[in-house]
Amino acid sequence: MTRAELIKKIHVQKRDLSLDDDNYRLILESLSGRRSCADMDDEHLNLVSLALSKMLDNRGTRPGLRKNPNQQAFIARLMDYLHWNWSNTATFCERLTGKKSTKACSAAELSKIIRGMIAIIDQDIEKGKLGLSHTQRFEYERHVKHLRPAA
């Protein structure tokens, strides 16, 4: 398969999974460190295609965590920053989406939860309520910079 064909296949997989652009780019970055297929080498393109194929295979057969593993993992990372347990997160999820668990949420609803958690973290940092080490702050900024609205 040529590079162009592989990139086209990835874009078809994105469409078939109904991924919005933010979630798609989050998946690309988590798998390859790049936010665009054009910036990846062939090895990473194959890795992304395989991962998206697995997501398509798992769609509809396994609920919850396996349905949106990258978003669920990102929520868990944000929970660490906020010092939340799953009960706190479930309460927040229910306030935002009306669902009692992130496992019952669609990709779009998980994105809403992620953005809400980022907003809380940003506010807590600004108010001095949340103390992150230099390393934690760097990692946090690296992972959320593309999720904030452009100023």
Residue for token pair 């944000």: 78
Please write the tens of the pLDDT for every residue from 37-65.
Answer: 999 999 999 999 999 988 887 765 444 44
8 A C-beta contact, residue 44 and residue 24: no
How many structural domains does the chain have?
2
Residue for token pair 């935002």: 96
Looking at 42, 61, 80, the residue that finishes a domain is 61
Q: What does the pLDDT read at residue 5?
A: 93
CA 20 from centroid of its chain's CA atoms: 11
The CA distance from 135 to 62, in Å, is 36
Model pTM above 0.85: no
* Co-location of 19 and 54 in the same domain: yes
Looking at 43, 61, 79, the residue that finishes a domain is 61
Residue for token pair 């669920």: 72
Please write the tens of the pLDDT for every residue from 82-111.
Answer: 999 989 999 999 999 998 888 888 888 998
Residue for token pair 């460190």: 33
The domain containing residue 103 runs over which residues?
66-147
CA 137 from centroid of its chain's CA atoms: 18
Please write the tens of the pLDDT for every residue from 104-150.
Answer: 888 889 989 999 999 999 999 989 888 888 888 888 888 888 776 65
* Co-location of 57 and 111 in the same domain: no
Query: Residues 94, 66, 13, CA angle at the centre, nearest 5°?
Result: 110
* Co-location of 77 and 57 in the same domain: no
Q: Output the 3-class SS for the chain.
A: CCHHHHHHHHHHHHHHCCCCHHHHHHHHHHHHCCCCHHHCCHHHHHHHHHHHHHHHHHCCCCCHHHCCHHHHHHHHHHHHHHCCCHHHHHHHHHHHHCCCCHHHCCHHHHHHHHHHHHHHHHHHHHHCCCCCCHHHHHHHHHHHHHHCCCC
